[in-house]
Structures are given as structure tokens and as C-alpha cells.
Amino acid sequence: MPFVSTLRLVTVLLMFQTVSMQTMYCAIADWWHSMDVQGWSVCQSDRFIKGFFRNDQQRDNDPISLLEEADCCPATLPKYNSAPYTCLNASWQYRLDR
């Protein structure tokens, strides 16, 4: 019986370790379809965009819909992982043309 209790304890501890290790690493957000339609493409909560995967450019066409995946990571400084944030729609059409 002590062996079974010890095994359960070790299993529970490993589960908590796995969860805490997963929160330290980046994850890939699958945007293969969400970037092809109007709406939001996001990382999971408490993750921030670190980089993108862009599909092959098609001739002289390089639309934003070619963004297919995002590398979503925790903040470099842990205090920002639980900080409140707000998302909003914004037009950068003229700002990015400079």
C-alpha cells in the first residue's frame, strides 16, 4: 500500500511540474484559416506574439492573409504575464506607408 501512495504522489507532482514547464515555453498559434477571414487571430491567454510563420509569397502579392502561424510566448518579465491588457481595432493604413 505505501508503494501505491508514493506512486500517486509522484504522479501528481509530475503533473504539476508538466503544467508549470508548459507555461514557460512558447506555443504555435494555428492561424491557417483565421487570417483568411475578417476577425481576430490571437494567442492563448497570457501569451504574446514573438514571431510569425508566413506562407510562400505569390508573385507580387504579399497579403496579410499569408501569415499562417504565430509563435506565442510568455512575457520576458514574469510580472507582465498576469497584467491586464486590452485589444482594440485600429487602422494603420497610413502610418505603415511612411
Confidence band (pLDDT; 50, 70, 90) for 76? confident
Residue 83 has pLDDT above 50, yes or no: yes
Q: Which helix (H) or strand (E) holds 13?
A: helix 2-24
Q: How crowded is the C-beta side of 78, counted as CA atoms within 13 Å?
A: 4
* pLDDT at res. 98: 65
